[in-house]
Amino acid sequence: MSRTILINIVRFLALIFVQVFLLKNITLYNLSIPYLYILFILLLPFETPNILLFALSFILGLTIDTFYDTPGLHAAACVLLALVRILFISITVQKDGFDNDPEPTLSIMGFRWFFTYALILTLFHHFFLFNLEVFRLSEIQYTFTRFILSSIFTVFLMLVSGLLFFRRKERK
């Protein structure tokens, strides 16, 4: 089994464990809910085939849906996240210059790129998830507040986890 596959399996299980048993119980006045599990999709290697990316995103979303009792909300949001990831990476990264299929991590891509990447993808995921969850215009202000605060909280946790596991590497 390849080292990359093993790392991603451990990352998948660890992020689900942290999300379900720790972060599910952390909310700030029911306005800010961190969804760190999306970091799995963000950190998949650049050369992950699109079909596999969509399948893994759907499986991740369904797994979270199982624990959160939300029938398909997280699965739909994760599949949208995979689509936005493909578009963002195709616009911003020249994949031909990398060797050994690197991952879009903080240590490889740098702080500015990773922050922009994490912020944009988290905003898309959370906007879609919270609007799909409420699905009415009468609560647009509450939904918008939850969307913004949860996105800030999630990106903050992504940056903290990225800095905890930061290894300095040179970009080619």
Phi, psi values for residue 4, rounded to 5°: -65, -40
Average pLDDT (91-109) is 72
pLDDT in tens, 113-159: 999 999 999 999 999 999 999 888 888 899 999 999 999 999 999 99
Q: Where are the domains of the chain?
A: 3-20+34-164
pTM of the predicted protein model? 0.88
Question: For residue 130, with 0-12 CB atoms within 10 Å meaning exposed, 13-18 middle and 19 or more buried, which class applies?
Answer: buried
For the stretch 37-82, pLDDT in tens is 999 999 999 889 999 999 999 999 999 999 999 999 999 999 999 9
